[in-house]
Structure 1
Amino acid sequence: MTSAAWHARIRCGPRTGSGFLVTERHVLTCAHVVHRAESAAVDVTFAQLRGAERELTARVVGHGGWAGHDTDPGDLAVLELDRAVPLKPAEFAAPSDAYGDPPRRLIAYGFPHHYDEGTLAEYRATADQLIAGEWVQLEAWAGHGQPLAPGFSGAAVTLADTGQVVGMVSAAARRPDVRNGRMLPAHVMARYWPPLGALIPTPEYERHDKERLRALVEAVARQDRLECRPEQLYRDAVGPLGPPVPAHGFRSLWDAAWYLLSEVPDGAAVRRFTARLADFAAAAPTRYALRSWPPSGPDTRPGPRPAERPAWAPILVEIAPSGSGDDRFLVEVSVYNGRHRRLVGSRTLPAGRVRGYALERIDEAFYDLDPDARELIAFVLPRRWLNTDVARWARSADDDSPLGSFAPVVVLDLERRRSGMLQRKLTQQWRRLDTRDKGRLHQVRCDALGQDPTKLTVGLRSGGADIVGFGIPPRTDAGRRLFAASLNAPVPVLIWPRSGCRGGPSHTDCRGRAFLDRLTAHLADLPPGELPSFVHGLRQEAYASDGPEPHWAHDLALLWEDPRCLPDPVAYQHSPVG
């Protein structure tokens, strides 16, 4: 067979056009060639074949939404043959291969009147600029030869030296003395028929990568409720300095993904797109597959660690007011390996959906942890939520055991997390702590509620404590003021019981006092860097305890903040929720 064997003549009623084979049973042509396919059969003839094999019938199984006018976009139709043909389908060139300096010579194989076996026309692309985001202008290679004429519509435009397809003829000049026309580039055709994207070469990604991506994107698109817009996902993928959304917008999620693959130079942008899209997939396997796409790509996880005790690898859960209402919160779940941060999910949700969403994404974040990592779940909470018992949240819908029994759980204060001054001072404080075997504990007892909060802040800043232990929770105005005073100082650790004081006016039989006494005894020789593990062990004891009295640490809360293992995250700046 010659390289021209996959060119086809298309007849639909009185119209004759061209087409080309792209799979063993699919032919592409212009929509205007077969726009009467409902009332007339589509006949497909492969001129290079002989005998009964050359004549086939076909039906239209896909189209680009062409509305019927010459300047309407989407002039593409996909034909499915009644049987497979013994021909090797067309091969495609990369989108940029149609252009060059000097220009590349392009060949169109069409079937104008009186040319049943087809004829050739030589053209070149005027420029790589798309007209109306859809077409490339063609101009004749020379001032003589075959012009584009009726019958060339749907013809493959190929590179003269390789025979690879770069586009399809969609229109010719109305005047015979004007020798130009229009081509629908191959990468534009793939917007309208997604399977074509796998056949068109793109930088970095192979055919199987693109087929997998299309299947995943379409799985998300089929969801009954999809809470994201392609345009915003695209902006998040390219960043504020990346190419803008094209003027024609995006017809679908796949349209946005394909645009990133075929027209955006930054090869990593499509991976950022898949990671962001994953957060909106309803099925957990789909979310994980999107985050790990492409499966053939390099493994970005860190290699084996040395034999010494590894550093913390936190899963960060940040819950912040969204600004769109008192009952709505921005929830972001990230996972760290060293200073590398990967966003697992980011959604704006009503308060009632925060817990379920956070737990689901925490579970998925464990996929990204190095096997030797010391997992740590860190909740960054608004100050009014600091007393929320996140450690007792059921681990999952199928497991009622507390999250704090599964892994170390700590909380952080959202306001302090966002203060550059305090983060710097905390880092300096931890460097000093690294040189000591144990931390210094400052107690705030129940009978100290009347002390001056400002004096407490100044005293803690002077370096008198590394840990502040409270005998009371932040549930009263006085208690909250002392908590705020401690958070305004660079104290890395705060510990308190979530339940209130039970003692009388003298506090001689005070549960808060007993809590602090036990805490002091247990922390006497413990370095602050090991507190998450220590408290995790205490919680496991408390959750398993079945004695007549609650374990002294059954409602212990731990605020533990080391900025060195939680570097400032680079969060998405826009919400793609429509």
Structure 2
Amino acid sequence: MSSASWHARINCGRDTGAGFLVTERHVLTCAHVVAHSDTAPVAVSFAHGGEGEVPARVIAHGGWDGRDTDPGDLAVLELDRPVSLKPAEFATPSDAYGDPPRRLLAYGFPKRYDEGTLAEYRATADQLIAGEWVQLEAWAAHGQPLAPGFSGAAVTLADTGRVVGMVSAAARSPEIRNGRMLPAQIMARYWPRLGDLIPTPEYDQPQKERLRHLVEAAERLQEATAPRHSAPSGARGTAGPAPTNAQPSHNRTPRTPECSPERLYLDAVGPLGPPLPPHGFGSLWSAAWYLLSEVTDPSATPRFATRLADFVDDTRLRSALRSWPHPHTNRSPAPANTPATRASSTAHTWSPILVEIAPSGSGNRDFLVEVSAYNDRHRRVVGSRRLPVDRVRPYALQRIDEAYHELEPGARELIAFVLPRRWLNADVARWKRSADDDSPLGSFAPLVVMDLERRRSGGLQHKLRQKWRSLDSGSAARLHRIDCWAVGQDQVKLTIDLRRDADMVGFGTPPRADGVRRLFQASLNAAVPVMLWPRSGCRGEHQCGRPADCPGSEFLDRLAEHLADLPPHELPQYVHELRETAYASGTAEPHWAHDLALLWEDPECLPDPVGYAHNPVG
């Protein structure tokens, strides 16, 4: 402590308090110490001299409103010139507490102690009072009590001299020897730059500084599009006017409920994570800082950044948030010691980009859209939003393109759409790939569809794994053909027959007419791994036997000719090549595969996500 020259005395008019140097030009103190800085000059001097009295100005504060119980009693002073003193160093947020209690020191400037004096205290407990303060109690029944002149003093560990907080109040009665400390991690809510200086277990100063800049950039974008309010967002009460860059963070307004700090926090910690703190969050940064400093799960903060990225319109900022904490790559390494659930390695030859589109539950026209990328069995969510139906396509296409950043250079991409049953015949393979590329998405990469209801069924997923285990063992794939005149067969009998005797089903007609839809559902319930059909053509309404010129019959003949003997696990690639040929065909008649749809599902290739699952409806 004797060498801690960063302890500061603050004079503002007739008021005197304490403070401490945190950078060569910035001093922290209580807002009530400089409450009259709009009419009285602020001067800073240091405990061990050598710098003289340095003029300063308030550049930021926490929005303290003038009452003892108001939060945000923090002011940041900027000195007129840099000083040569070494700034204070911070301890980790948990270091102030222990059993036995840690001895804490405060260096203040009460009356008749112009040179300063020490007070010995300890933290009563690590429980926050009103989500803001920690109670201090005297280390011994004698000695210097906290008194006017200690406000703004750094609270330090006696053995290391590192800062754990700041004195913000003392008991009004001299018989009660206690006070309040604003912990360092709470101060960082109000001055985000302070978070860079406070040690956290998992992330270093450059990583935290980078995250802060990214979150603040996202916050500025939100504020630019948020509704304007008549009330000013600057400082209130007696703490003096706040400059432009010092608006209290609790006045900032998120753009959408889905992107509120509270919603993003809950998405980051998951359903079993720590609950929201009682005080909530006043800004995106305060939520990010809470995750950094007070949540033990090291992956929660990257999940927060990834989720925030989904609400950022700027492509470069979105990419930077998604890549945090590693600035040069967006890829997440697969977790070590991943168990092999199937002997064959063929399930892992694909690196899927999964696009899941599901009803939101909040209206017939709203859908939940989630786009993910897989590396081995590790899934990383690229974007997840609730959207009206007319925004589903552009959002999905944009996130699919960004998901490619998550894949390894040699990965075999597979775009897999998980769709509600009524959408399985949608033309997703013919979607224009991007705003400046009119080529079909199905010509860009292998593309398959899957049934949403079946993917969510534990029983059907188990049956699918059994089917693939048999196919991986070398068994020949069994193709069951359903011609367009067979729509009258019994649905339950077909389910049982297919479950026993079929690995692939080919339909001669799209699932539009009621009879075909029933047989389509029977095939899905039979856990058939592969289903193929034409999206257009014969509607399956023949009533007169087997017409020789039926396009559905011709389609199935071609299907058997081209695909029947191929390994089922490679069908996405073969169908992709067929689509390329069909899209490039210059003949007058459409290529037989021009509208070929492929439902293909291997649960081992697309396992359920591990850890990160959230509901954007909230």
More displaced, 211-220 or 284-293?
Answer: 284-293
Shift of 1:357: 1.2
Structure 1 contact 169–184 (Cα < 8 Å) conserved: yes
Shift of 1:462: 2.5
Q: Are residues 1:498 and 2:535 paired?
A: yes
Structure 1 contact 108–120 (Cα < 8 Å) conserved: yes
Map 1:192-271 onto structure 2 (within 5 A): 192-222=190-220, 223=222, 224=225, 225-226=255-256, 227-271=258-302
Indicate the residue corresponding to 2:230 in structure 1. none
More displaced, 449-458 or 79-88?
Answer: 449-458
Structure 2 contact 25–79 (Cα < 8 Å) conserved: yes
Separation in 2 of the partners of 1:145 and 1:501?
A: 95
More displaced, 22-31 or 357-366?
Answer: 357-366
Q: TM-score, normalised by structure 2?
A: 0.88
Structure 1 contact 137–181 (Cα < 8 Å) conserved: yes
Separation in 2 of the partners of 1:299 and 1:491?
A: 33
Separation in 2 of the partners of 1:440 and 1:178?
A: 85
Indicate the residue corresponding to 2:600 in structure 1. 560
Shift of 1:389: 1.0
Map 1:83-482 onto structure 2 (within 5 A): 83-222=81-220, 223=222, 224=225, 225-226=255-256, 227-295=258-326, 300-301=333-334, 311-436=349-474, 438-463=476-501, 465-482=502-519
Separation in 2 of the partners of 1:536 and 1:95?
A: 55
> CA 1:438/1:398 → structure 2, altered by over 3 Å: closer, same or farther?
farther
Structure 2 contact 135–181 (Cα < 8 Å) conserved: yes
Structure 2 contact 332–380 (Cα < 8 Å) conserved: no
Shift of 1:461: 2.1
Shift of 1:502: 8.7
Shift of 1:576: 4.6
Structure 1 contact 438–524 (Cα < 8 Å) conserved: no
More displaced, 130-139 or 444-453?
Answer: 444-453
CA RMSD of aligned residues (A): 2.4
Separation in 2 of the partners of 1:32 and 1:324?
A: 47
Separation in 2 of the partners of 1:72 and 1:432?
A: 68
Shift of 1:197: 0.6
Q: Write the deviation string for residues 143-168 of structure 1: whole angstroms up to 9, x where unpaired.
A: 33222111111111112222111111
Indicate the residue corresponding to 1:10 in structure 2. 10
> CA 1:256/1:576 → structure 2, altered by over 3 Å: closer, same or farther?
farther
Shift of 1:22: 0.7
Q: Which amino acid aligns with 2:368?
A: L
* 1:529 aligned counterpart, secondary structure: helix
* 1:54 aligned counterpart, secondary structure: coil
Separation in 2 of the partners of 1:302 and 1:403?
A: 31
Count of residue pairs brought into register by the alignment? 573
* 1:330 aligned counterpart, secondary structure: strand
Q: Write the deviation string for residues 213-260 of structure 1: whole angstroms up to 9, x where unpaired.
A: 111222222222344122222222223333221111111111111111
Q: Are residues 1:31 and 2:62 paired?
A: no
* 2:319 aligned counterpart, secondary structure: helix
Separation in 1 of the partners of 2:112 and 2:550?
A: 104
Q: Which amino acid aligns with 1:128?
A: D
Separation in 2 of the partners of 1:544 and 1:527?
A: 25
More displaced, 479-488 or 320-329?
Answer: 479-488
Structure 1 contact 437–527 (Cα < 8 Å) conserved: no
Q: Write the deviation string for residues 73-106 of structure 1: whole angstroms up to 9, x where unpaired.
A: 1100111111211111111111111122332222
Indicate the residue corresponding to 1:82 in structure 2. 80
Separation in 1 of the partners of 2:488 and 2:178?
A: 88
> CA 1:163/1:567 → structure 2, altered by over 3 Å: closer, same or farther?
same
Separation in 2 of the partners of 1:471 and 1:118?
A: 91
Indicate the residue corresponding to 1:523 in structure 2. 563
Separation in 2 of the partners of 1:457 and 1:187?
A: 60
Q: Write the deviation string for residues 279-325 of structure 1: whole angstroms up to 9, x where unpaired.
A: 2222233333223221189962489xxxx976222111111111100
Q: Are residues 1:41 and 2:72 paired?
A: no
Structure 2 contact 5–46 (Cα < 8 Å) conserved: yes
Structure 2 contact 383–399 (Cα < 8 Å) conserved: yes
Shift of 1:388: 0.6
> CA 1:576/1:444 → structure 2, altered by over 3 Å: closer, same or farther?
closer
Shift of 1:569: 3.0
> CA 1:11/1:78 → structure 2, altered by over 3 Å: closer, same or farther?
same
The counterpart of 2:552, out of the listed 502, 509, 512, is 512
Indicate the residue corresponding to 1:541 in structure 2. 581
Q: Write the deviation string for residues 326-362 of structure 1: whole angstroms up to 9, x where unpaired.
A: 0011111122223222222211111111111111111
Shift of 1:561: 1.1
Separation in 1 of the partners of 2:109 and 2:192?
A: 27
**Structure 1: gaps spanning 5 or more residues:** none
Q: TM-score, normalised by structure 1?
A: 0.94
More displaced, 544-553 or 364-373?
Answer: 364-373
**Structure 2: gaps spanning 5 or more residues:** 226-254, 337-344
Shift of 1:185: 0.9
Separation in 1 of the partners of 2:524 and 2:95?
A: 60
Shift of 1:429: 1.2
Separation in 1 of the partners of 2:81 and 2:617?
A: 44
Structure 2 contact 334–376 (Cα < 8 Å) conserved: no
Q: Which amino acid aligns with 2:321?
A: L
Separation in 2 of the partners of 1:75 and 1:575?
A: 36
Taking only the aligned residue pairs, the percentage that are identical comes to: 73
Structure 1 contact 436–527 (Cα < 8 Å) conserved: no
